[in-house]
Amino acid sequence: MSKKKLPSKKSKSKIYKWATKMAQNQEQVDRDLSLLEFNKRVLEQACDPTVPLLERLRFLSIFHNNMNEFFMKRMWISRYLFLNHPGSETQKKMQNIKPFVQSLFDRAGQELENLKVQLGKEGIHILNWKDLTNKEKEKMTKVFLDNIFPVLTPLSVDQSHPFPHISTLSNSLAIALRYPNSSEKVFSRLKIPTFFPRFYRCSSTPTGESRWVSLIDIITGNLAKFYPQMEIEAVMPFRIIRNIEIEMDQDGKEYESLLTMISQNVKDRRFGEVVKLEYLPPENKWLLNLLMDELDIYDCDVYPMSAILDFTSLDEIYKINRKELKFERWPQVTALELSQDHNIFDCISQKDILLHHPFEDFSTSVEDFILAAVNDPNVLAIKMTLYRTNQEGSIIKALIRAAESGKQVVCLVELQARMDEENNITWANELENAGCHVVYGIVGLKTHCKVAFAVRKEGTKIRSYAHLGTGNYNSQTAKFYTDMGLLTARKDVTEDVIDLFNYITGRSLKSDYKKLIVAPMQLKSFFLKAIEQEAKNAKDGKPSRIIIKCNNLEDHDVVEALYKASQVGVKIDLIIRSICTIRPGVAVLSENIKVCSIVDRMLEHSRLFYFQSGKEDPVEGKMYIGSADLMYRNLTNRVELLTPIEDLEAKHEYYDVLKVYLDRDIQTWEMNTDGSYTRSTEKSIPSQRALFNYYKSQNTLKRGDQ
């Protein structure tokens, strides 16, 4: 077994000092509590009667998936402080988190029971084993005996059989057994493999009605078949979550390569400390105490669930083909500049093209650009950064074809993309085997910028083309993440892209760029100077305004700079989807700051940064799209990119989008000074519907469905 890698004493000391400082800073909202508030807003989507029924199930699944990530990535810090620094300021945080999280899961369970009733009225019945007819039980028992029973292995614990390793997020049954004529109890664990469907259809009718039962119920209903002649005293479904934040050697000197280091880290995670135990009632004290002892956990780590053990399993029900119970599909449009039957390089060479996905089709813009570069015999070289891509790897397969055809192909594959490490290691090996030049990133930094670059021979000259975006090169997530990108052939930008790749692949010391703003060298200082300039403009009586749209705002220095700008009269609008540690609307401190969050049918993912810069016409202000959120990690520990939008037509579109997000008639969640949020219920139009209508009116050619 791999040795468990816990944070070093030095790391723990840093964590305690940092956490104490943050806990004492009453001017900023706690980061983790802010993230939990976001997950609460996601849960509210599942409870919203205006959202179609099956979509509400999907939001329950998203909610639980988000909570899983919260515990895997963040909970170990609060847990360590709670257990090791009793009475400290930071202990209060855990005392707030535990009941808040429990209340969210209780609410989710209540909503699932409510949705079961409503889905039943629509002919979709989610049942318990006891609710099945005898015929249905016979059918499911046959499925169990033929397909499930041969695969499962009960593991009982005694002197010769130690307590088994429990994998993170794996569903299990904890079983209390008793031998006949004996008072001694035996613990047994039955792991439920992930490759089985989580729900089975036990019957259906010609009219479309269907009846479903969970895999856990099927197994529990047939549990005696594993333990003939033994008494089953209690059964308790459970699962655990382990910490995945395993400390790595940041300079990589322990390992022969970054690839080796990341591969080992992925293996080490299997043995991360347990930070959460979830179980379904009825609670059995003997089983629960045994699990807590063996897993080395405490009361603060234990969460009783209701209705279901794993809400992400509801994805199986969501797949039911009932279009009337899902969001209406929106036809995507092709960006107007690309909608004519022209060579895409000709289109880009004429002007910069601003893209906004999924309102404008990813496949007819970004994918077409990459495929054109792969297939065009005049393209000499292709360079890309790959952070997350889809499992099918359509873009990666295209790059492999390009390398096999003799093109120079360079790929930065970020092995440290959280939760995607194994996928990226696989693709990196395939790209390298095909002859691509593969770089694994920079030790100590995570490469998070999104860039695709092509060098093309045109007559006797060489011309470069680039795509710079806010989102990943992933054709699947591009359908339900909102992101912006820029296609450009401008020499000042493409020369910067060349320098950027030389920094990433050749470790050049380039730190100044003509147009692009790059982290970790420039980005934080750029934001601080831009905010300071808006404050100076306000003092001088010039027009001043800041609009920021991103996923998270947490960097302490940026928050302090925004407070100072607000205090001299700068109007600041922040559209922050998730974590936001700033407190808006506080007298003197932040009276000119407004914060809203948009949670809609698609995940808001674009990062937009606007500074009015003293201009009377707001469209003349400075506009940027970027890969970075305003978090310490993005600004100092990652390779990130901010791209200016300078084409006048693109700037008008960009500002139109900001106006939609800030329109008084758009549905948002408005942040209160205490860090809670209030839904603007009187507002009637979802922002994404308004943006779809905007692009539908602006563009002419429709292609495909979302």
For the CA atoms of 690, 696, 702, 705, the dihedral, rounded to the nearest 10 degrees, stands at: 10
Q: What is the pLDDT of residues 107-134, one digit of tens each?
A: 999 999 999 999 999 999 999 999 999 9
**Residues in a beta bridge with 323:** none
Residue the block writes with tokens 């994918």 = 367
CATH superfamily of 518-705: Endonuclease Chain A (3.30.870.10)
Give the residue-averaged pLDDT of 561-585: 98
Nearest to 132 by CA among 123, 119, 122, 141: 141
Environment class of 194 (CB within 10 Å of its CB; exposed 0-12, middle 13-18, buried 19+) = exposed
Task: Assess contact for 407 and 478: CB atoms under 8 A.
Answer: no
**7: helix, strand or coil:** coil
Give the residue-averaged pLDDT of 679-683: 79
Where does 24-325 sit in CATH, by number?
3.30.1840.10
**pLDDT for residue 516 is more than 90:** yes
**Architecture category of domain 331-515 in CATH:** 2-Layer Sandwich (3.30)
Give the residue-averaged pLDDT of 438-460: 93
Kindly report the pTM of this predicted structure: 0.93
Task: Name the residue ranges covered by the structural domains of the chain.
Answer: 24-325, 331-515, 518-705
The pLDDT value recorded for residue 21 is: 61
State how beta strands 408-413 and 437-439 pair: parallel
- Is 437 one of the annotated active-site residues of the chain? no
The pLDDT value recorded for residue 697 is: 86
Q: What is the pLDDT of residues 217-253, one digit of tens each?
A: 999 999 999 999 999 999 999 999 999 887 665 555 5
- Return phi, psi of residue 689, to 5°: -65, -45
Environment class of 119 (CB within 10 Å of its CB; exposed 0-12, middle 13-18, buried 19+) = buried
How far apart are alpha carbons 31 and 651 in whole angstroms?
Answer: 33
Beta-strand ranges (E) seen in 280-352 are: 302-304, 331-333
Cα distances (Å, whole numbers) of residue 276 to 38, 83, 291: 20, 14, 11
Q: At what angle do helices 31-46 and 53-73 cross, to 10 degrees?
A: 160
What confidence tier does 93 reach under pLDDT thresholds 50, 70, 90?
confident
Catalytic residue among 448, 556, 605, 652: 448
The pLDDT value recorded for residue 327 is: 97
The pLDDT value recorded for residue 5 is: 45
Nearest to 678 by CA among 605, 599, 571, 596: 596
The pLDDT value recorded for residue 6 is: 46
Task: Assess contact for 306 and 279: CB atoms under 8 A.
Answer: no
**pLDDT for residue 106 is more than 70:** yes
Q: What is the DSSP letter of 553?
A: B
**pLDDT for residue 288 is more than 50:** yes
In order, the DSSP letters of 440-474 are --BTTBEE--EEEEEEEEETTEEEEEEEEESS-S-
Task: Assess contact for 581 and 28: CB atoms under 8 A.
Answer: yes
**242: helix, strand or coil:** strand
Q: How far is CA 501 from the centre of its chain?
A: 26
Q: Quote the percentage of the chain above a pLDDT of 70.
A: 93
Task: Assess contact for 378 and 458: CB atoms under 8 A.
Answer: yes
**361: helix, strand or coil:** coil
The residue with greater pLDDT, 425 or 487, is 487
Give the residue-averaged pLDDT of 280-307: 95
The pLDDT value recorded for residue 426 is: 86
Give the residue-averaged pLDDT of 264-280: 91
The pLDDT value recorded for residue 223 is: 97
Q: List the single range of 229-243, 340-354, 461-475, 632-646 with lowest mean pLDDT.
A: 340-354
24-325 and 331-515 in the same fold:
no
Average pLDDT, the chain: 92
In order, the DSSP letters of 47-97 are T-TTS-HHHHHHHHHHHHHHHHHHHHHTHHHHHHHHHHSTTSTTHHHHHHH
Q: What is the pLDDT of residues 322-340, one digit of tens each?
A: 999 999 999 888 888 887 7
